[in-house]
Amino acid sequence: MTEPSIMALLPQAIADHFALDPGEITADTAITERDSWNPITHLGLLVHLEQAFGVQLEEEPAIRASTVRELSAAIEQARSRGTS
Amino acid sequence: MSKPVVLLYGQCQVRALVQALTALPGFLDTYDLAYGAPAVGIDRPPTRAAATPTQEIVPAEDSLRRCEIFFLQVPLAQPEPSYTDRLASQGARVVRIPFLYCPVLWPQNCVERREFDRGLFPAPPYKGDRVMLDCMAHGGSEDDLVDEYLTKDLAVLFKIERAMTFWQQAMLEIDNRCDVKLAPFILRHFRTNRLFHSFSHCTSRVLRYLLSEMIRYVWKEGVPDSHLDFVTTNRLNNLEVPVHPSLARALGLEWYRDDMRYRHYENGSFTLREYMCRYIRYDHGK
């Protein structure tokens, strides 16, 4: 089975974490602009995404990520490294 | 002749530093102090002004003009204040200090929208606890709910070891943007000393270290320990949020005791069980 596209799954994973409508979330969405974002929920989101995608994110880009596109890139990078 | 101004920018931690510098013997003989703050929490984006209705504090023009040293708390998501470049160009020394926070002791922290008496509290009287809120959703007596809460393993629930790694990295990222560094101190003492009262309020031990490092960085001199102790004690401890025992065990917190008491503003100090029962009732006192 091929791995599903990250962007096909990421909006739902983010929506689950922040209790949002996944339809509101696009690649350009700035997660740091969402009402429920703060440094705690950001770290929680990273842990949640690692579980959801079965990867181990590289910490530095994951911490810096502020948009969905940047999170997607961090997950893609982890997948290509094969870390899980 | 008017004195040069030391300006500090940030929120509660920086307000505590202003109070400490005000009390530092001799400091106000040499400098005037001024304070600036963003309109919303320094950890939150500007679009959230409505959710966190604090007032922006802009220093007076005279203070900006006389500013010689500008301690700027580096925010995570917000831009630096608009006057930063102006102060630098007029020759003020801009010293960036870290924003401090600790997510790993309270990973269950959440925004909560229960009603409260705004005459007593301008902001919610408790930090939201989503694990307890989940327990409360199915009902039960206060004692039963706390019993259930205590059986939860928050370290597993929130994958705390991994969260700890992310937090360490986040602190290093902030340190990299700062002149005064705190991450090594925090990481060295995190398990042996209580360093935080709540997610964004550090204990006097951290405040004392931060103040001494700021002074050493700018003035290249130390301050007597007794002075540092005097000016940093009891600054940010009006709310102490209980740490769940499962996290204390998982993180190996040597300072943690099961019978610790936690202060809730002027309402008193409570054991974890008492505190959580009050939280269930949302009891914020009169």
Asked if the structure places residue B229 within a domain, the reply is: no
Identify all chain B residues contacting A35, using CB atoms and an 8 Å cutoff: 48, 51, 111
List the domain range (segments joined by +) for residue B4.
Answer: 1-99
For the entire predicted model, the pTM comes to 0.88
Distances (CA, A) of B79 to B16, B45, B103: 22, 9, 22
Boundary residue ending a domain (B44, B66, B99) = B99
Count Cβ atoms below 10 Å from residue A39 Cβ, excluding itself. Answer: 23
Nearest Cβ partner for A59 among B76, B159, B169: B169
Asked if the structure places residue B232 within a domain, the reply is: no
Asked if the structure places residue A1 within a domain, the reply is: no
Does B116 lie in the same domain as B79? Answer: no
Asked if the structure places residue B227 within a domain, the reply is: no
β-strand partners of B270: B262
Count: domains in chain B: 2
Partner-chain contact A37 B45, CB within 8 Å = yes
Alpha-carbon distance A69 to nearest alpha carbon in chain B (angstroms):
17
List the domain range (segments joined by +) for residue A70.
Answer: 6-81
User: What is d(CA B178, CA B146) in angstroms, rounded to the nearest whole number?
Assistant: 41
Size of interface A-B (CB pairs under 8 A): 58
Write out pLDDT tens, residues B7-57.
999 988 899 999 999 999 999 999 999 999 887 665 555 444 444 446 788
Does B157 lie in the same domain as B90? Answer: no
Partner-chain contact B44 A37, CB within 8 Å = yes
Write out pLDDT tens, residues B200-240.
899 999 999 999 999 999 998 888 888 888 788 878 888 99
Does B159 lie in the same domain as B250? Answer: yes
Asked if the structure places residue B214 within a domain, the reply is: no
pLDDT bucket at B276, cuts 50 / 70 / 90: very high
pLDDT bucket at B124, cuts 50 / 70 / 90: confident
Asked if the structure places residue B40 within a domain, the reply is: yes
Does B160 lie in the same domain as B109? Answer: yes
Alpha-carbon Rg for chain A in angstroms: 12
Nearest Cβ partner for B43 among A38, A60, A64: A38
Count: domains in chain A: 1
Distances (CA, A) of B130 to A39, B112, B164, B199: 16, 9, 19, 15
- Return contacts of B250-258, CB within 8 angstroms, 24+ apart: B250/B155, B250/B160, B250/B161, B251/B104, B251/B105, B251/B155, B251/B160, B251/B164, B251/B190, B251/B191, B252/B191, B253/B191, B254/B191, B254/B192, B255/B191, B255/B192, B255/B193, B255/B194, B256/B194
Asked if the structure places residue A14 within a domain, the reply is: yes
Tell me the two tokens of residue B55: 């007032």
Asked if the structure places residue A49 within a domain, the reply is: yes
Nearest Cβ partner for B48 among A35, A59, A66: A35
Identify all chain A residues contacting B159, using CB atoms and an 8 Å cutoff: 47, 50-51
What's the CATH code of the domain at B26?
A: 3.40.50
Identify all chain B residues contacting A66, using CB atoms and an 8 Å cutoff: 77
Identify all chain B residues contacting A46, using CB atoms and an 8 Å cutoff: 166
Partner-chain contact B167 A43, CB within 8 Å = yes
Boundary residue ending a domain (B81, B99, B117) = B99
Write out pLDDT tens, residues B75-113.
666 788 999 999 999 999 999 999 988 999 999 988 777
Does B268 lie in the same domain as B163? Answer: yes
What's residue B11's pLDDT? 84
B244 pLDDT above the threshold of 80: yes
User: What is d(CA B67, CA B61) in angstroms, rounded to the nearest whole number?
Assistant: 10
Asked if the structure places residue B64 within a domain, the reply is: yes
Structure-token match 């401090």, residue found: B100
Question: Does ipTM exceed 0.95?
Answer: no
Nearest C-alpha neighbor of B107 from the set A46, A79, A3, A23: A46
What's the CATH code of the domain at A62?
A: 1.10.1200.10
Nearest C-alpha neighbor of B74 from the set B173, B184, B178, B176: B178
What's residue B48's pLDDT? 47
Sign of CA dihedral B267, B233, B35, B31: positive
Asked if the structure places residue A47 within a domain, the reply is: yes
Boundary residue ending a domain (B68, B99, B130) = B99
Partner-chain contact A43 B106, CB within 8 Å = no
